[in-house]
Structure 1
Amino acid sequence: MRRIDKGTIVRTILLGVTWLNILLINYNLQPVPVLDEESIAYGLTFLASVWAWFKNNYITLRGRKQKEVLEKSNLMK
């Protein structure tokens, strides 16, 4: 049986809190006081930009090996 990793559990909890806050705000109820909206927006923007940068660049050893294979196969300009 495969165990669920901690990252998956944390992301699932954060997703649940986010949706709970959306529903509470939608029904004019007090949302869960995690952070203010501006901090959340900045945080999500930062995380999305770092993730996009990391995924679109060959940073890790595995990524550099993938780039070599793509270049050898003429699949990359």
Structure 2
Amino acid sequence: MEKEKVSTGTWIRTIVLAVALFNQTLVMSGHNPLPFTDEQMTNGLTLAFTVGAAIWAWWKDNGFTENGIKAKNFKKKLDQGEVEFEGPKEVTEDSQIEVDNTDNFGGAK
């Protein structure tokens, strides 16, 4: 049995919480927690937002091709229980499945 892994979101939330607690401790002890100018903070946050948005847009399942759109629509119907799939739960390189692209599954033509 494979050991469950901690999600990336959990790690990010934990790190953000640790930084926030560390900064609060510095404030309470009379130290300047963030030795940056307002302009540097704005630039840093803008950069972080831009990089985060770029990674999210790149990583998100975007269907640009006709088959990609069909697959996304089929998955949506499958998740909603509108269609059934009888086949392997996981497709690997060794899986022997036949693909029938004749049905549109509600996708764009």
Asked if TM exceeds 0.5, the reply is no
Q: Between Structure 1 and Structure 2, whose CA radius of gyration is higher?
A: 2
Normalised by the length of structure 1, the TM-score is 0.43
Q: Kindly indicate whether structure 1 or structure 2 has the higher relative contact order, using CA contacts under 8 Å at least 6 residues apart.
A: 2
